[in-house]
Amino acid sequence: MLPILVGLVSALSFALLTYLTYGPAGLTDYFWVGTVFWALIASGVLVYAVNRGLSCRLCRLAERSPPLARLCRGLASCH
């Protein structure tokens, strides 16, 4: 959940700095501003999804191999 929060905070910070630099027209007139804003949010979601998927794969691997079970103890549950 932390990567999503970081993505949202960085996107809102970017929007605020864009507003302070270019004014209200800068938020709507420049295509790249919207692209960067949504890319920051999407990158946070993507990092969360990759980390979640990796931890689930490790847990499934640990089910087959008991020595690897120690690695899965602190990871998020996979349902």
Is 58 or 25 the better-scoring residue by pLDDT? 25
The pLDDT tens digits for 1-52 are: 889 999 999 999 999 999 999 999 888 899 999 999 999 999 999 998 887 7
Instruction: Tell me if 79 is assigned to some domain.
Output: no
In a domain, 48, yes or no: yes
- Residue 77 falls inside a structural domain: no
Q: Where are the beta strands (DSSP E) in the chain?
A: none
Are 18 and 31 spatial neighbours (Cβ–Cβ below 8 Å)? no
Domain hosting residue 26, numbered range: 2-72
Please report, for residues 30, 47, 57, 71, 79, the alpha-carbon distance to residue 74 in angstroms, rounded to integers and kept in the order given: 44, 18, 14, 7, 15
Per the domain annotation, does 13 fall within a domain? yes
pLDDT of 61 reads: 67
pLDDT in tens, 3-15: 999 999 999 999 9
